[in-house]
Structure 1
Amino acid sequence: MSSEPITGDHRFILFLLPLLCFIVHSSSQSDQRQILLKFKSTLQNLNSEVLNTWNGENTICNFTGIVCNSDDLVKEINLSQQQLAGTVPFDSICSLKSLQKVSLGANHLYGTISTHISNCTNLEYLDLGNNSFSGEVPDLSSLTQLKFLNLNLSGFSGSFPWKSIGNLTGLTFLSLGDNPFDRTPFPLEILKFRQLYSLYLSNCSIEGKIPEEIGNLSLLESLEISDSYLAGEIPVGITKLTKLQMLELYNNQLSGILPVGLSNLVNLAEFDVSTNNLEGDLSELRNLTKIESLQLFENNFSGTIPEEFGEFKFLTQFSIYDNKFTGELPAKIGSWADFEYIDVSQNFLTGPIPPDMCKMGKMEKLLMLENNFTGGFPETYADCYSLLRIRVSNNSLSGRVPDGIWSLPNIGMIDLAINQFEGQVAPNIGEAKSLTQLYLANNRFSGQLPVEISNVSTLVEIELVSNQFSGEIPSRIGNLKKLSKLHLQYNIFSGAIPESLGSCVSLDEINLAGNSFSGEIPATLGSLPTLNSLNLSGNKLSGMIPARLSSLKLSLIDLSNNMLIGRVPPALLLVAYNGSFAGNPGLCADGSKDLRKCSPVSNNSDHLKVAVYCFIAGALLLVLSLSCFLFMKLRQHDHKDPINRGYSWDVKKFHVLNISEDEILRSLKQENIIGKGGSGNVYKAVLGGGEQLAVKHMWKFVPDSGGRSSAAILPKGKSRWPEYEAEVAALSSLRHMNVVKLYCCISSEDSNLLVYEYMPNGNLWDRLHTYKKIEMDWNVRYEIAMGAARGLEYLHHACDRPVIHRDVKSSNILLDEEMKPKIADFGLAKIVQAEKVMDSTHVIAGTHGYIAPEYGYTCNVTEKSDIYSFGVVLMELVTGKKPVEPEFGENKDIVYWVHNEMRTKDNLIALVDSNISKDVKEEAVKMLSIAFRCTMKIPTLRPSMRMVVKMLEEIKPNSLIDVVIDKVGENIISQYKN
Structure 2
Amino acid sequence: MSAKFLLILFFNFWLSTAQNNDATFLRALKDKWQNTPPNWDDNSDPCSGWDGIGCKDSRIITIRLASMDLRGTLTGDIGQLTELQILDLSYNKGLTGSLTSEIGKLKKLTNLLLVNCGFSGPLPDALGDLDSLIFLSLNSNGFTGPIPPSIGNLSNLYWLDLADNRLTGSIPVSTRTAPGLDMLTTARHFHFGRNMLSGAIPSRLFHSNMNLFHLLFENNQLTGSIPDTLGLVKSLEVVRLDRNFLTGNVPSNINNLTGLFEMFLSNNQLTGPVPSLTGLDALNYLELSNNMFDPSEVPSWVTTLQSLTTLRMNNTGLLGELPAALFSLSALQNVDLSNNRLNGTLDIGSSHSNELQQVNLQNNQIADFTQRNQYSIEVILVQNPICTESGTSGGFCSPPTKNGPSYFTQPNNCETRSCGSGQVSSPNCICAYPYTGDLVFRAPSFSNLANSAVYENLRNDMIRSFRESQLPIDTVSLRDPRIDFNDYLVIKLQVFPSGGERFNRTGILGVGFSLSNQTFKPSDTFGTYFFTGDVYDFSAGISGGKKSSNTGAIVGSVIGGCVIVALLIVAGIYISRKKGRAERTTNESSPFALWDANNGSGAVPQLKGTKAFSFEELSKYTNNFSETNNIGTGGYGVVYKGSLPNGQLVAIKRATRGSTQGGLEFKTEIELLSRVHHKNLVSLVGFCFDQGEQMLVYEYIVNGTVKDSLSGRTGIRLDWMRRIRIALGAARGLQYLHDLADPPIIHRDVKTNNILLDERLVAKVADFGLSKSLGDANVTHVTTQVKGTMGYMDPEYYMTNQLTEKSDVYSFGIVLLELITARNPIEKGKYIVREVKQAMDKSKELYNLQGVLDPTIGLTTQLKGMERFVDIALRCVEEAGDPRPTMSEVVKEIESIMELVGLNPNAESAANSAAYEYASNGSAHPYTGDDLFAYSGDHFSAKLDPK
Could you say which structure has the greater relative contact order, defined with CA pairs below 8 angstroms and 6 or more residues apart? Answer: 2
The answer to whether the superposition gives a TM-score over 0.5 is no
